[in-house]
Each structure stands twice: as structure tokens, then as C-alpha cells.
Structure 1
Amino acid sequence: MGVHGSPTSLQALRFALGHARAFDATLIPVIAWEPPGGDSAYRRFPPFLSDAWALEAEQRLLAAFDEGLGGPPTDVPLSPLVVRGPAGQVLVEVADRENDLLVVGKNQRGLLHRLSYRSTTTHCVAHAHCAVIVVQPSRLAVELRHRRSAVRQWQHSLR
């Protein structure tokens, strides 16, 4: 299951935890990270930055547990992973067995972002060798996104 801290990601984390509890399964929360500029830029950075970025990703994963669940669960086996690479590719590689279940949140990004970047959810659905559950954003998350968009439009119209 992919975790990065967005409201939909936290919702997916809660769903995956419920599923792991119901089926007495291990929860493998995954956070993927990439260096700024991708792998081509990665070679230009000093090696110690790689450790710093990986640590930051690990802290985001722990923060997601705090924000989404009030802390890591103690009643389900956990095997968290912090992996360098594109999120969709990493998730598909981790959930590589037929009996795995990959849980991802539905992308809530705007049109411009979706045109510029690959969708992790779309990549997982297209390439996974296991079942994929796409958790839809809550009504509150959708409403907040629309309100933020309306405020931005209103601010832009004042210029």
C-alpha cells in the first residue's frame, strides 16, 4: 500500500489496515521517493543527500501513521518500506505476487498536474500482477479541493 500523507492516502491506509486485520495479514506500507530532478539529476548530488531524502521519506511515512491512525497499529504485523524510485513502479514491484493486495488512493490532482506527471494509480492498475483496490477520496476531501479551487479563482479575478 502506498503512503505519502495526502487525505486520500490516509484513507487508503485506514482501509488497508482494516483489510489486514480482517484477513490476519501483514500490512506493508510503502513510501517511494525520488531525488529532485529524478535519477538523471541524482548522480550530481553528494551521496549524503540520498540518506537525508530517504530519512525524510521515512518520517513522512511515520507521520502518516500518526495523522491517519493515531500511531502505528500494534495488533497487525507491519513491514514498512522506504524505497527510491517512481511510486507506481515501486508499488507494483513490492506487490508482485498474485495473492497480494495493492491499495492506493485515487489521484485528486488537477488537470495540469495529471498531464505533466504519470498517475501512480493508473500505473498500478495497468501493471500490477495482483488485485488493486483504488480508494476514492472522501466527500470532505472533494469539497475542500473544490473550495480551494474556487478561492484561487476568486483571488485571480481580483488581480
Structure 2
Amino acid sequence: MFEIIVGVDGSESSTRALHYAMEEAARHADAAVLVVHAHRPATPRNRYAPAYSHMPAGTLERVTAQQNEERAEQQAIARQQAERVVQASLQSVGGIPPDVVVKTVVVARDAARTLIDMSEHADLVVVGTRGKGGFRGLRVGSVSQKVIAHAHCTVVVVR
């Protein structure tokens, strides 16, 4: 099976990358497209500045439990938002080509590292680019640069 990994983040360039990946998959008799969205893990701020050693017994445990609960809530919200990004990206394609298997992957992890690691078992990685600054459209984004430099397979950057 010809496996294509495409990174999506909701940007126009990642939408174009997804379109390209679907077109490329349609050219192969047996292809799979893994639509990947990686987001930063939720890390709540520590609002408890005093030294824990001077607090009453049990305070550290309560604070830790509260922080863990907040982190879990933030992770759930981040995952829901990420799932919406993936679904919106897939809807923008307008349809999945016949004989193309599409899988979605949402992870709370560095985007570049995720795509690079997944590239070990892929035939192609497709990413968009978000040029910023005065040379918009000419520069490659940081995730794209890292994937180009370290991927284990062919990489296509879609403008």
C-alpha cells in the first residue's frame, strides 16, 4: 500500500497540501492517506508560587490534583479543537477518491517530530508552507524545514 502522510493545521497551505495528497493517492491503485494534526500538549500555568514546604499538610496533594484536573480538561478541549481542524480540512477536499483509505491522527506532540517519526513507514510526506514576512510565499515554515531535513521518505511542500 502506498502511504501518504499529510500534516494539517487549518491553514490555507495545509488545505492545499491535503488536496495534493488526495490527488497523489488517486494515482495509485492501493493508497492510504494519513491526515495528521499535532498540537502542543496542554500545560496549565502554576498559579501557586509559595513554597509548598511551608503549606499545611495535604496542600501539595490538593494542588497537584487540581492541576492534573485542569490539565486533563485543557487536553480534552485541545483535542476537540484539533479534531475540528481535521474534519474541516477533510470537508474542504470535497470527497475522497475511490480506493483511497483515509485515516486521521491527532496527537498532543510537536508537529515536526510527529511527521518525521511517521515518515519512517511512509512513501511520501506532504506539508504546506506558511511564508511570513516580506518574502511571503518564498520562505518555508519551520515545521516544513524540519520535515524536509529529517524525513525518512520523499517530502513535497505545497505552496
Name the SS of the counterpart of 2:103 in structure 1. coil
Distance between the aligned counterparts of 1:28 and 1:46, measured in 2?
Answer: 28
Q: Which has the higher helix share?
A: 1
| Per-residue CA distance 1:24-76 (angstroms, 9 max, x = gap) | 3101010011146xx68599543122111111101111011223x13x52622
* 1:127 paired to 2:134: no
Name the SS of the counterpart of 1:88 in structure 2. helix
Distance between the aligned counterparts of 2:109 and 2:27, measured in 1?
Answer: 31
Name the counterpart of 1:49: 74
Name the counterpart of 2:37: 31
* 1:79 paired to 2:103: yes
CA contact (8 A) 2:40 2:110 kept: yes
Q: Which has the higher strand share?
A: 2
Distance between the aligned counterparts of 1:79 and 1:2, measured in 2?
Answer: 12
Bigger Rg, structure 1 or 2: 2
Name the SS of the counterpart of 1:78 in structure 2. strand
| Per-residue CA distance 1:86-129 (angstroms, 9 max, x = gap) | 111111112213x5200011222237xxxxxx700001001111
C-alpha RMSD of the superposition: 2.4
* 1:89 paired to 2:113: yes
Distance between the aligned counterparts of 2:26 and 2:33, measured in 1?
Answer: 9
The number of residues matched between the two structures is: 125
**Structure 1: gaps (5+ residues):** 112-117, 137-159
Structure with the larger RCO, 1 or 2 (CA within 8 Å, 6+ apart): 2
CA contact (8 A) 1:35 1:41 kept: no
Distance between the aligned counterparts of 1:62 and 1:6, measured in 2?
Answer: 13
Counterpart of 2:123 in structure 1: which amino acid? Answer: D
**Structure 2: gaps (5+ residues):** 1-5, 47-63, 135-140
* 1:105 paired to 2:128: yes
